[in-house]
Amino acid sequence: MARTVKRAYKYRFHPTPEQACELARTFGCVRLVYNKALEERTRAYTLEGRRVCYVESSAALTQWKKTPELAFLGEVSSVPLQQALRHLQAAFANFFARRAKYPAFKSRKKSRASAEYTRSAFRWRDGRLWLAKMDAPLDIVWSRPLPQGARPSTVTVSKDAAGRWFVSLLVEETITPLAPVDAQVGVDAGLTSLLTLSRPVDGLTDEDGKVANPRYERADRRRLAKAQRTLARKAKGSANRAKARRRVARVYARITDRRRDFLHKLSTRLVRENQTVVIEDLTVRTMVRNHSLARAISDASWRELRSMLEYKTRWYGRELLVVDRWFPSSKLCSACCTLQESMPLNVRTWECACGAVHDRDVNAAKNILAAGLAER
């Protein structure tokens, strides 16, 4: 059965100098309102023991605009400022529900510069987008088309550390599930090979079922180190240091973009060709505490791959099963189910008492598949 989902389409755009100036002012006002509202909420809870709701923060914003010091808040669109307060309300809701840490202040240098516009603050006509306070439409690079007849409900404009401008259009899209297939696959994550599948797949894995790890961060490590050395030599606060910082950011952006593109193609292939995908519940946050492997684990980006598999299987009518992190997938013989006493990381192949010779990762993938299907 087809289902309607909310899906964001992200594009690059090239603002005019006037648009760039207006958006920069809006970003600064959004950050200021968020931080000031957070400060007021913290003060009220610390000194008075009471919680401040969104309605109170919105009323306070109206009063801030009437003061001489903050009158400039009225010069930008009010919608992104209200959305900042809604985001803060959601952050506190997650905190009190113990789903997240206490909200943090936004930094001009470290936080993402962004502003969110709802339908009352933008105009969409014939594939062209006008934002509030702007006379000309955004010059968007349409790298892929929007769904036929789709109209954005929310528009988010952002600028990354590399100086690139992006606009994200949230639309409702009807997605038809894929036709059912009989194939099932177990997935074991690793570092030498990014993934090991319980069975080989033509064009995706080698003959053992292993997906090569592209190691994008390692491939650009020399370029990144050179850019960082150049940055370190620049005087703090100088224009040359700002340029050098953008060069470093561009290298990071290249690494991130290539990695995300690879993970999207990999996850889509797994979802399209398998009715059931079984993965292991890895605690990446704990694993990166190993300083010897933290860089390689971060480069592998297992958590992002899992996130992609979660929403793509949900969209396309597939099934994603997650095996408990304590399941001994590497120590269990997939042929006779005998559990070995120990299995050090340096042991890549081993022979069971039943005579079966196992590749460590392939055996783990087969066990993960069997365990996931058994726990349905």
Length reported for the chain: 376
Q: Give the three-state DSSP class for 169.
A: strand
Select which of 22, 116, 188, 299 is catalytic: 188
Dihedral in degrees, nearest 10, Cα atoms 360, 361, 363, 365: 160
Alpha-carbon span 78 to 82, nearest angstrom: 6
Using an 8 Å Cβ cutoff, are 167 and 143 in contact? Answer: no
Alpha-carbon span 61 to 54, nearest angstrom: 10
160 is catalytic: no
Q: Give the three-state DSSP class for 367.
A: helix
280 is catalytic: yes
Select which of 280, 304, 351, 359 is catalytic: 280
Alpha-carbon span 89 to 92, nearest angstrom: 5
Alpha-carbon span 71 to 191, nearest angstrom: 54
326 is written with which tokens? Answer: 């304590």
Alpha-carbon span 307 to 217, nearest angstrom: 20
Alpha-carbon span 11 to 144, nearest angstrom: 8
361 is catalytic: yes
Alpha-carbon torsion 242, 247, 250, 252, what sign? negative
Q: What is the set of active-site residues?
A: 188, 280, 361
